[in-house]
Amino acid sequence: MRFAIVLLLAAPVFAAAPTTDIKVDQVGYLNNTPKVALVSSKTAAADFAVRTVKDGAVAFRGKLGAPVDDPDSGDRVQAADFSRFTRSGQFYLEVPGVGRSWEFSIGPAVYSRAWYLAMRSYYGQRCGMAVDLGPEFPGYKHEACHLEGAYHASSGKTGPHSSRGGWHDAGDYGRYVVNSGITTGTLLWTWEMFGPRVRTVKLNLPESGNGTPDILNEIRWNLDWMLEMQDDDGGVWHKQTSEQFCGFVMPEKDKLVSYVIGTGSDPFKSSCATGDFAAVMAIAGRVYKPFDAAFAAKCQRAAERAWAWLDQHPNVTFRNPNGVGTGGYGDGDCSDERLWAAAELARTSRGDSYQRYFLEHYSDFRKSIRAAQPQSWGNVANMALWTYALGSGGDAAAVAAIRQDSVNAAEQIVGRTKSNGYRISMTSRDYIWGSNSVAANYGMQLLVANALQANPRYVETAMENLHYLLGRNTFSLSFVTQVGANPFRHPHHRPSGADNNPEPWPGLLSGGPNRGRQDAAMRKLAADLPPAKMYIDEQAAYAANEVAINWNAPLVFLLAGALPAK
C-alpha cells in the first residue's frame, strides 16, 4: 500500500523514459540549419511538439510527414521537421501516442564538446607513454606500454627496434602505417580546412601550452612513430604489432614484443605504406613550418625519400607473413597511395617531378570521385585529387576537372540523401565493416566539395550524416562513447574492457552496422536482418562494435565543419 502511494506521488515528478521510436541527434542542431527528427512507431502518429527541458513548455508544434519505407533498416519513418524553430536551448520531442525523445540542444556551439572528445580520444590511444584523462575522467588511464620493440624476421633486419609513440590502431594495440596514413592525413586536413575553428581548443595534453595548437601536438605523437618506421633506403615497413592479438588487458599488461613486420622478402617494405607515409609527411612538411621549422623539414625530407623508394618499388603489396595474425590492411593496388604522395608533395613543394607524375596519372583515378564508396584506408585516390585542387595545383584544367567531378558526385549524394528514409547518404552496400566511417567520409566528401564550390546544400547534407552518427538512427543510439544521452556502451576496445570504469573511454566512434557479420557475436543476429540493423552493442562484436583511429578521423573532420566559423 505504502509502495503504491510513493509511486503515485513520484509519477508526475519523473518524466517518462525516452523511447527509441523517436530519433534525434542527441547532441543537437545548429540554430539556422535543417532540424529533423524521425519517428518510427507501430502507432500511427500525426503531430509532434518540441518541449523545453526546463519546464516542459511547448516551444514548437508541427505535423509529422508522410510515412516513408526505409528498406535499409526495415523501418517505416515519419519526419518531424522543426527547421523553422531556431531558438537556442535544451529540448526534447514529444509525439502523442508514441512518447518522448532523448534530450538535445540547439545552439551555435553544440558540437564543441563532441569535437573535443573525439579529437582527444587520440591522446587516449597513445602508445609508449603513460596516459591519464583525469581529473575530467578520473580512472581513465594507463601506464607506458609496448616499450619493447624488435625487428621481426619478415622485416629483413634483426635486433631491437625503438618502440615509442604512435596511436593504438583500434580496440587492439597494433600500429599500422597504412591506417595511420589516412587517419593522420584526415586530421591534418582538418587543421588545414578548419584551423581557425580549432586552433585555440585546449585538449588537455601533456604538451598543452607549448605554443603549438593542441590538434597538431596530438597528431605529432603519431608522426614521430611513423618516422621511426622508415628504413634507411626510404621504404616504410607496413606495421608494428605483436605476432598475435593479446587478450583484453590494459596496454601495459600486454608484454608481447611489438615487432616491426615486413613483407618477408626483399625489399621487405610495402608500397602502400610507403605511399601513405610520403603523403602524410608531405602535409606535415607544410603544416608544421610555422610552429617547428626543423621538424617540418625533417618530415619533408622523409616524404621525398619515401617517394624515391616508390619509384623503384611501385607495387610491393603486403600480406601477413607466416605466424602473424594481427590486422592486415592489405591492399592489392598501391597506385592510389602513390598518386596521393605525388599530390601532397606537389602541394607542399611544387617540385616539377611530383607535378608531372600527378598530371600523367590523375585521369586514371577520376572515376574515384563518385557518389558511391567514399575514401577509405584502401582507397585514397580522392585525397590525391582533392589536395591537388584544394592547393590550387598548377594545372588549371586538372583543377577544373576535379572540381566538376566533386560537384557532380556531391549533387548525386545530396539527391539520394533527400529520398533516404533516415536522410543519410548511405546505400545498402555501404553497411560494411566500419560503416559508420563510410557515413562520416560521405560527410567529409561533401565538405570538401563545398570547399571547391561553395554550396550550403552540401554542408547541410554532410550534417545529416552527422545526425545519424549521433543518434538519429534505427537504434536511437549515439555511436560515439560518452556523447549524447543514449550512447553505445560496449566497444571492442581493450582499455574499455579491461579497466574498472563503468563507461567506455570517451569520444570513440563505433564501427557500426555491418552486413558481413564477420564475428561470432554478430552471427547470433538473424541472417535476414536489413543491413542497417546488423549491429549489436557487445564487446565481442569486433566486426560491428570496434573503434578505430581511421573511423574517428572523418568524424573529427565533420564535427569541425559544424563548429562556429571564425
Which positions touch Zn ion (CB under 5 A)?
127, 145-146, 251
* SS3 label, residue 498: helix
Beta bridge partners of 492: 546
Pick what 62 binds: ligand G3I, ligand 9MR, Zn ion, none; C-beta below 5 to 8 Å, kind-dependent: none
**Residue tagged active-site, from 492, 493, 519, 538:** 492
- Angle at 173 (CA atoms; ends 170, 174), nearest 5 degrees: 90
**Residue 196 · residue 182 · CB < 8 Å:** no
**Residue 541 · residue 525 · CB < 8 Å:** no
Residues 240-279 vs ligand G3I: string with x where CB under 6 A?
A: ----------------------------------------
- Which of 206-214, 268-276, 360-368, 427-435 is the region at the interface with ligand G3I (rule: CB under 6 A)? 427-435
Q: Which residue has the cell 543510439?
A: 477
Give the residue from 105, 90, 92 showing the smallest Cα distance to 22.
92
Which helix (H) or strand (E) segment is 273 a member of?
helix 271-287
Q: Is 172 a catalytic residue?
A: yes
Pick what 434 binds: Zn ion, ligand G3I, ligand 9MR, none; C-beta below 5 to 8 Å, kind-dependent: ligand G3I
Determine if 432 is a binding residue for ligand G3I (CB under 6 A).
yes
**Residue 234 · residue 301 · CB < 8 Å:** no
Residues 232-251 vs ligand 9MR: string with x where CB under 6 A?
A: -------------x------
Among 30, 80, 145, 170, binds ligand G3I (CB under 6 A): 170
Determine if 551 is a binding residue for ligand 9MR (CB under 6 A).
no
Q: Is 55 a catalytic residue?
A: no
Among 170, 345, 383, 544, binds ligand 9MR (CB under 6 A): 170
Pick what 245 binds: ligand G3I, ligand 9MR, Zn ion, none; C-beta below 5 to 8 Å, kind-dependent: ligand 9MR
The region, left, alpha or beta by phi > 0 then psi within -120 to 50, assigned to residue 434 is left
List the beta strands (DSSP E) in 411-520: none
Q: Taking the complex as a whole, how short is the minimal distance between the CB of residue 467 and ligand 9MR, in angstroms? A: 27
* Length reported for the chain: 566
Amino acid occupying residue 535: Y
Q: Is 192 a catalytic residue?
A: no
**Residue tagged active-site, from 94, 172, 336, 519:** 172
Tally the C-alpha atoms within 13 A of residue 394's C-alpha that lie toward its C-beta. Answer: 17
Q: Is 537 a catalytic residue?
A: yes
Measured from the CB atom, is 304 or 336 closer to ligand G3I?
A: 336
Beta bridge partners of 52: 91
Residue 458 vs residues 26, 37, 213, 411, 415: alpha-carbon distances, Å: 22, 19, 28, 8, 10
Q: How far apart are CA 58 and CA 85, in angstroms?
A: 12
Residues 403-442 vs ligand 9MR: string with x where CB under 6 A?
A: ----------------------------------------
- Angle at 229 (CA atoms; ends 223, 232), nearest 5 degrees: 120
Residue nearest to ligand 9MR (CB): 172
Measured from the CB atom, is 18 or 171 closer to ligand 9MR?
A: 171
Measured from the CB atom, is 193 or 541 closer to ligand 9MR?
A: 541
Residue 531: cis peptide before it, omega within 30 degrees of 0 = no
Q: Which residues are catalytic?
A: 172, 492, 537, 546
Footprint of ligand 9MR (CB under 6 A): 170-172, 245, 327, 542, 546
Footprint of ligand G3I (CB under 6 A): 169-170, 172, 174, 327-329, 376, 429, 432-434, 516, 518, 546, 548
